[in-house]
Amino acid sequence: MYTREQRAKIQGYLSSVWGISAVTGPLLGGFFVDKLSWRYVFWMNIPLGLLAMVGILLFFHENLSKEQRKIDYFGTIWIFLAISTLLVILVEIDGTNTFTSPLFWVMGTSSAVCFMLFLFQERRAAVPAMPLEIWRNRLIALANIASLTTGIIIIAITSYLPAFIQGVMGKSATIAGFTLTTMSIGWPIASTIAGRLLLKIGYRKTSILGSLFLVSGGVMFLFLTPERGPGWAGAGSFLIGAGMGMTSTSFIVGIQSNVNWNMRGTATASNMFMRSLGSALGVAFFGGILNSYVKAAMLKSGMEGDLSIHSVNQLLDPNEVGKMSDTLQTTLKEALSSGLHMTFSSMLILALVSAALIWFLPSNEIKRHE
């Protein structure tokens, strides 16, 4: 709908609107958990969803020449099976006998076979779900892989930072929500700035600037301790949000400027898919790491018979944590802290990988298909 010059600004505005609405999410969710019930976090989706439907029906109008298109059902099924089995493997990592388990190798082989079948199907499908030729474009390939790694970073924060704030620091869910809100503040600010920088310095330099924010945020999380407090965590989240705002806006605009009009939807969707895939893989992988460290800490303490992985959830419940002995609280906090520290260390490594990928982006080789 917009020219290349207009797209940079519009994409920044869209990201800003998303970010502004996301600012209220963590805080509102924390309020529901603290004052009402966690169920309200899900119930509120009903009126918001209805409002979104009404808005789309009333205000979103487009004129398209409709034509019959085939749906790549087999390609969708194969990639679904490949990713699903991989997620199960990652979730079940426990640091003990995972890699010697027959089930691990069966599911791993199944995932690899399904992925190969997906690639075969995409080569032969008349209308593939994900055309493989877009991956031959250097910009798209690097931006998509970087989106995968940044997607893992985002989920590492949104899923496990609240656990650190509540379980290790002993703060409330509202304060944990605040540390996430700073990321939602940094994201739209950086997206708006990126929309202007793209027209002046190009998407590669803008992306590199965003990667510096990601690495800086990763360093802050590496040195996060209970003594540093929620303010340190909030500052790290802000930097990560700024990095995501810069990179995601640059990726989308760069990708859309490098393909023909009829491929923009597919190319854009591939980038969004990779970021979503990164989030799914990240939460499963880091969940497996966390489970592994918690189990190891329980074994070391000799209290495994009295505890389970689910015992850690008691640290997040103000009503339950008061019922624990000091020894039990210390054991669980140390177990949770060690697992989350490994998560944050991995997050910094991923930020460095993202920065390396971004560095090799082509220098604004924009093909004009306006």
Q: pLDDT tens digits, the chain, 370 residues: what are they?
A: 777 667 777 776 776 676 667 667 777 777 787 778 878 888 888 998 999 999 999 998 877 666 677 788 888 899 899 988 888 887 776 555 566 677 778 888 999 999 999 999 988 888 888 888 888 888 999 999 999 999 888 888 888 888 888 878 878 777 887 888 888 888 888 888 888 888 888 888 999 999 999 999 999 999 988 888 889 999 999 999 899 989 988 888 888 888 887 788 888 888 888 988 888 888 877 877 777 777 777 677 665 555 555 666 666 666 666 666 667 777 777 777 878 888 888 889 999 999 999 999 887 644 444 4
Tokens of 252: 């989308």
Q: How far is the C-alpha of 5 from the C-alpha of 195, rounded, in Å?
A: 9
- What local confidence, expressed as pLDDT, does residue 370 receive? 44
Residue type, 98: T
- What local confidence, expressed as pLDDT, does residue 4 receive? 67
Rounded to 10 degrees, the C-alpha dihedral 66/69/75/76 comes to 40
Lookup result for tokens 């700024």:
242
The alpha carbon of residue 248 and the mean position of all alpha carbons in its chain are separated, in whole angstroms, by 12
The secondary structure of the chain, three-state, reads CCCHHHHHHHHHHHHHHHHHHHHHHHHHHHHHHHHCCCCHHHHCHHHHHHHHHHHHHHHCCCCCCCCCCCCCHHHHHHHHHHHHHHHHHHHCCCCCCHHHCHHHHHHHHHHHHHHHHHHHHHHHCCCCCCCHHHHHCHHHHHHHHHHHHHHHHHHHHHHHHHHHHHHHCCCCHHHHHHHHHHHHHHHHHHHHHHHHHHHHHHHHHHHHHHHHHHHHHHHHHHCCCHHHHHHHHHHHHHHHHHHHHHHHHHHHHHHHCCCCHHHHHHHHHHHHHHHHHHHHHHHHHHHHHHHHHHHHHHHHHCCHHHCCHHHHHHHHCHHHHCCCCHHHHHHHHHHHHHHHHHHHHHHHHHHHHHHHHHHCCCCCCCCCCC
- What local confidence, expressed as pLDDT, does residue 36 receive? 80
- What local confidence, expressed as pLDDT, does residue 130 receive? 83
